[in-house]
Copies of this chain bind each other. A is one copy, B any other.
Amino acid sequence: MARKLGGSQYQVVLLDKHNYHQFQPLLYQVATSGLEPSSILFPFRKIFQRYKNVHFRMAEVLHVDPTKKCIQTSKGDLTYDHLVIATGASNNFFGNAQIEKRSFPMKSLNESLLLRNSILERFEGALDKDTSSSDPLMTFVIVGGGPTGVELAGTLAEMKRFVLPKDYPELDFDHMKIVLVEGSDRVLSAMHPHSSERALHYLEKLDVEVRLSMRVKDFDGKLVYLSNDETIHSESLIWAAGIKGNFIDGIPEEARGPGNRLRVNAFNQVLGLDDVYAIGDVALMESDLKYPKGHPQMAQVAIQQGRNVAQNFKNRLTGKKLKGFHYRNFGSMATIGRNKAVVELPGRRFAGFFAWLVWMFVHLRSILGVRNKWIVFINWVWNYFTYNLSLRLIIKRKERG
C-alpha cells in the first residue's frame, strides 16, 4: 500500500519495529538451512528511496488513541489523518503456555533462526548419546498440515535423505523420524481434496509420518502428548498450527472479531472508527460474498487489499467513486520436497514436477529485489545439483545489555 501511494499527494509514514520487510512464505527455508536470511529480507529505506512522500520510521507502536488521532510509539508520539493497521498475525498457541514456551514456531525471522540453530544442535547433541537417548533428538513433530507444515516436513525429509547423513556419518538416520500432525482429516485443507491427496502421497513417499484428525495436547520438552493419549518421544515440537491477529492497544474492543482480527467493512474501515483501516492478516472482512467468515490469511489477500485501499485514497483526490474490496483468487500452491508440488489455478489443477517449477517461478517473482532473486535462484540451483548447501550454520547472537 505504501508503494502504491509512493509519488502521490499523500504524505505517507510507514512504521515498523524492524527496518526490513520479510518474505514470510520462505521462512521455512531459512529454518532448514536452505536460504540465508538476507535473501528474503529487504530494507524499507531502499524500497522507498525513490519516493519523496514516503517516510520510514523504525519504531514500535505502543498505543493508538482514535479519538485524538494520535499514535504512541517507542520513538515518540505521532498524529495522523488516516491510520492503516497492517500488523499481520502471530502464533496462536490456543492458551497452552507449555507449548508456547517449548515449541518452535516459524512466523518471524528470529523464530526461524532459533529453529535452524536448534535442528542442527539436536544432531550435534545426538553424537554423544547412545541410540535410545538419541532418538528423541532425531524425532521432529510438526503441528499443522497447512502449506508451512507440509513444506517444512518435505524439506526435513529431504535433509534426512540427502544432506544430514553426509554431515553426521556416525549417526544412523533410520532413527530420524518426521511426524506431521493435522487436526482435520486432510493436509492442505484450504485446497481441493485432490491436491490434499497428492500432497499426502508425496509426504508418505518421503517417509513422513502423517497423523490426520489428531491434535497435540501438550509438550513438556521430552514428550509430545497427542489428543488420543498417545505420546511421542521428541525434543522438537514445531508449531505451524494457528495464528491470531496482532491487536493494537487502544483500539475499541467491539472491533475485535474471531481470531483476534479487526472487523472491517468492504472499504477496510475498522468497525466503529473513522479514518482507521485494517488490511491483511489482521483484518476480518465479512462482507465479501464468497468469504462470509473472512478471507484466508495469506499474502495474496493482503496485497490486493493494500492496493485497493491505496486506490481508494487516490480516488478521493480525483473525486472518483470508492471501490469495495472483492478478493480475486489467482490460485494457491505448496511444494513438498524437491521436484514435487501441488498447484491450483483458476480452472486448472496440477501436481508434480511442472507444478514445482511453477511454485519456484511464482516465489522468485514475489521476492523483493533483483539481487535477492538472483541469490535465491543460485541457492536453489546449487542445492538441486549438489544436495549440499553450505548454510548449515549455528549462529548464536548476543545483543548488548
Contact = CB atoms under 8 A, between A and B. Distances in A.
A352 interface: no
Interface in A382-401: 382, 388-400
26 contacts: A18-B394, A19-B120, A19-B392, A20-B393, A20-B394, A20-B395, A36-B38, A37-B393, A37-B395, A38-B390, A38-B391, A41-B395, A43-B392, A46-B167, A46-B390, A46-B392, A49-B167, A52-B169, A76-B128, A110-B396, A113-B397, A368-B390, A369-B390, A371-B378, A375-B375, A397-B399
A390 B371 contact: yes
A320 interface: no
Given A19-B393, A37-B393, 10 more contacts: A18-B394, A20-B394, A20-B395, A38-B393, A41-B393, A46-B390, A49-B167, A49-B388, A55-B170, A57-B127
A393 B113 CA distance: 15
Interface in A35-91: 36-39, 41-43, 45-46, 49, 52, 55, 57-58, 75-76
A138 to B, nearest CB: 16
Contacts of A52: 169
A395 B397 CA distance: 10
A287 interface: no
A372 interface: yes
Interface in A143-183: 166-170
Contacts of A379: 371
A22 to B, nearest CB: 10
- Number of this chain's copies in the assembly equals 2
Contacts of A399: 114, 396-398
Nearest to A52: B169
A382 B371 contact: yes
Nearest to A121: B58
A38 B30 CA distance: 12
Contacts of A124: 19, 57-58
A374 interface: yes
B394 A19 contact: yes
A1 interface: no
A251 interface: no
Contact of A378 (B369, B374, B394, B395): B374
A315 B129 CA distance: 36
Contact of A43 (B169, B390, B397, B398): B390
Nearest to A48: B167
A390 B42 contact: yes
A109 interface: yes
Of A49, A368, A369, which is in contact with the most chain B CB atoms at under 10 Å from its CB?
A: A49
Contacts of A389: 371
A281 to B, nearest CB: 22
A388 B372 CA distance: 13
A313 B368 CA distance: 52
A110 B399 CA distance: 9
A318 to B, nearest CB: 28
Contacts of A76: 128
A397 B18 CA distance: 12
Contacts of A57: 124, 127
Enumerate the 3 nearest inter-chain pairs by beta-carbon distance, A residue then B residue, closest first: A397-B397, A45-B167, A36-B38
Interface in A100-159: 109-110, 113-114, 120, 124, 127-128
A108 to B, nearest CB: 10
A246 B394 CA distance: 22
A294 to B, nearest CB: 31
A375 to B, nearest CB: 6
